Each structure stands twice: as structure tokens, then as C-alpha cells.
A and B are shown apart, each in its own frame.
Chain A
């Protein structure tokens, strides 16, 4: 790891003063499970690292029937799993958190860091850059792309967003609260992630001198929800694909449905087509299957990842059936 200056401020305000205006000059450290390994691999070589763990106000987790769930960015995955109220109101959020395996990872990893973890694309992690370009052309389409994007992959980015929590939080209508030099702003998580167009871009709208302070999730209002992940291994790896579903039913028919796919595109990928296939209908296995099919109708797999299209189709179907049965 390259040498850097290390700062552990006690307040968000003092942390903000230590951040630079360009990505890579300074980096924010939370649990470190992603940043420290990225620094060891020289994926990023900041001159200054700003540790947030001394900021007390960012560790709160609270729920009210009126405003829903508020989670400080430093709440750990374990804190989230241990929170009975969050589990009760958002069982699928707990389900997604539970998929992140390893006691160590759950005790160290924070919700903020989980949402902002950098892509696991092996080109990126091995020094080819976020867009994995060589002589102006991406190495991914003709390269080793079995874990890469099947949607939103018209370039220049082909990696997949790695977060397990982002898709369900988007399906739940969650927002990110950001604190910057000019004050605070709230961004819907649905609009928080972006596909980078240039090598210097990042995968989210957060600016280099902003801190993610809180995640806000509106009240659940009787929604039925589930996450269905397909994994190659049950631990020490990310899902191949995951589907998050939040349904509102009235009298046995679907009134509204939000379906969001994870690990299929450079951003968490909402699939309104799947929701439309469900709305106004009673959920049967066949209807759920049609929604799964609709979810991947626009997929454009690369040379090695066609199998992910089928996985995503089935994940959506199973997430829907599981949500209706209340299995989360």
C-alpha cells in the first residue's frame, strides 16, 4: 500500500473539510473491507484517508411508523441484522443483509460502505481501470466476461454493481442523505447510481467531497417483499444475480409491484416491465414466470454470460412467489 496521511475526525463537519475535490486524492474509510483491499491492489492511491468511525452520530438506526427507517451510514451489517424493528418491517432488507456472509464481514462492513463498494470486475481490480480499456477499447466484450453485465451494457462500462442492499432499498423507495461543503441533500437511491462514461467517473452521484450520512426508507405500508439470490458459493463471494421484489396487493391482486435486479448491470437495475406483468393480476406460478421473462426481455448478454439471463428470469419468478408466501 502507498503511504498516506490518516485522519480520524470526530464530526461530519470536520471530516468534510479534509476531503478533496477530485476522486482519488482523498478516500473515505468506514469498515475498510473494500477500501483497504483496493488500496493494497493500488486500485486507488489516495494521499489522505479520512476515517469516519470516530463520528458517533452516524451509527444510529431508528424506525417510526410516520417516517420509516433511518440508518446512519456507519451502521454495520450486523447492527442491521440485530435490529428487530428493521427486520420486522423490512424482512427482505434483512434477507439481503443475511446473504453477506462471514461474521467478520458483517461486523466490519457498514451499510454506507456496502452501498458504495467499488465493482469487483477483475479487470478493474487488476489495474485495467474502471472501464477496463486498452488502446481506447474495452477488454470485456471479447474477454473474460462471465460475471459481467447482461443489461445496460452498451458500453463503455461492463462491470456489475456489487451491492446486495441497493436493489431492495431501491425497491423500497429508499433515499440517500448526502452531506457536502454546501450543505445536505437527499437523493433517491434509484437515481443515486450512474454508469460511468469516463475513466475518472464513479458509479454514483456522490461527489468526492461529500459524505453519505444516512439511508432513509419510507414506511413499509403492508408491502410483501423478498430477495432471491443465486450464488455460485454460499460464502466469500458475491451473488451471480439477485432479484428484489416489493408488492402491494389488494383483494388478492397486485396493485403495484417494484422489481429490481442486482449484479446484472453497472447499476442496480429496476425492471418496470416485470412490475407491469404483475399489476392487476393474481399471482400464480405462471404469472410470476411471465414477470421473470419480462424482466430479462431487453437483456443483451456478452460472449460468456448468457447463463445469467436465465438465472435472472428465475430469480425474479422465485422472489415474487416467495414475497407472496411471506417467506422473507
Chain B
């Protein structure tokens, strides 16, 4: 057992982890944050995506021990209480969710994309989401949701000044 301390969805946390325990296991099993999905467990699907210091990573390939001192955001950390994050709202409004298994990863990858590039083209959206597999939607509505989220965030940004 090794103790790791990191910031999880904005709060400082600590956990005892096994050698070889991956971050997805720690998040799901020790913190009960089951929004992060363990799909292929090998880097092939993106369902386990979380934000690590703001960047999307595959938590199935990150050792929990490597979270020490870093900041991790899971899908549970995105909304503001009952108020959905603009990306979550856009996915809901566009009907970009079917079974929902890929959705947390899609939403987090999109969040990172829009932070870096607030006005992505369709090609940029598809490129950014290329590491997130969806077996249900055919991606069209997901791409539309990302566009809608981008528009909403930009409108928000302008209104806020």
C-alpha cells in the first residue's frame, strides 16, 4: 500500500493504493465515482477519460500512484451542483447520448478541446474525439453537441464581460 494525495474534483483527497492499481480503479472503487467507465482497460476506447491537470488522459493506463500532487477531474466534478456544465447540457439538448457509456469520456474530452480551442471546425472536433469510441450514436449528434457547446460557451463568454 502507498498513500497518494491529490486534488479530486477540486477537493484535496488521499487514498491508500496497491502497486499496480490504476487511476480508474481508485476513482471507481475507492471514491465511488463510477461515472468514469472501465471499458477495454487497454487504451482502445476512451471510456475511462478523465482530466489530469486539465488534459484528457486514459485513467486505465495511469498508475494511481502517479496522481500524487496532481489535479484530477471526473465527470462528477463538471456540473455546478444541479446546474449542468455547458458541454453536458449541449449533449443532452442534442440527444447525443444513447446508452451513455461513452458519454463521460466524450464530455471531458470536449471540455478540454473547448478550453484550448473555443471555435473548433468539424474536422478539429472529429480529430479531438478520435480517441473516444461510441458504439451507439454514429457520432453525428455528438459532433453537433460539441458545436452547440462551443457556441454556448462563446455566447456566455461575450455576455459575461
Contact = CB atoms under 8 A, between A and B. Distances in A.
Contacts, number: 82
A39 B61 contact: no
A39 B21 CA distance: 12
A64 interface: no
Interface stretch (B6-14, B42-50, B86-94, B150-158): B42-50
Nearest to B53: A107
Given A6-B2, A32-B61, A103-B109, A37 B43 contact: yes
B127 interface: yes
B131 A104 contact: yes
A51 interface: yes
A101 interface: yes
Interface stretch (B62-70, B74-82, B140-148): B62-70
8 contacts: A6-B65, A33-B58, A36-B63, A40-B41, A51-B63, A104-B46, A104-B57, A104-B131
What is the interface residue range for chain B against chain A? 20 to 34
A102 B45 CA distance: 10
B20 A104 contact: no
Contacts of B60: 36
Contact of A235 (B63, B113, B131): B131
Contacts of B113: 103
A1 B61 contact: no
Given A104-B58, A236-B130, 11 more contacts: A4-B19, A6-B63, A31-B61, A33-B43, A101-B127, A103-B55, A103-B56, A103-B109, A103-B112, A235-B131, A236-B133
Interface in A224-245: 234-236
B20 A3 contact: yes
A225 to B, nearest CB: 22
Given A33-B61, A37-B43, A108-B58, A102 B131 contact: yes
Interface of A: 1-6, 8, 29, 31-33, 36-37, 39-41, 51, 53, 78, 101-105, 107-108, 234-236
B54 to A, nearest CB: 10
B22 interface: yes
Identify which of B42, B61, B129 gathers the most chain A CB atoms within 10 Å of its CB.
B61
A301 to B, nearest CB: 27
Contacts of A6: 2, 19, 63, 65
Nearest to A48: B19
A33 B62 CA distance: 8
A234 B43 contact: no
A142 to B, nearest CB: 27
B2 to A, nearest CB: 7
Nearest to A51: B66
In the A-B complex, the 6 residue pairs with the closest CB atoms: A102-B131, A235-B130, A1-B20, A101-B130, A37-B42, A36-B61
Q: Chain B binding site: helix, strand, loop or mixed by DSSP?
A: mixed
B87 to A, nearest CB: 14
B66 to A, nearest CB: 7
Contacts of A41: 42
B18 A3 contact: yes
B45 to A, nearest CB: 8
Given A36-B63, A103-B131, A236-B130, A3 B19 contact: yes
Nearest to A106: B131
A8 B67 CA distance: 12
B16 to A, nearest CB: 14
Identify which of A41, A53, A235 gathers the most chain B CB atoms within 10 Å of its CB.
A235
B62 A105 contact: no
A33 B57 CA distance: 10
A44 B109 CA distance: 31
Identify which of A8, A40, A102, A234 gathers the most chain B CB atoms within 10 Å of its CB.
A102
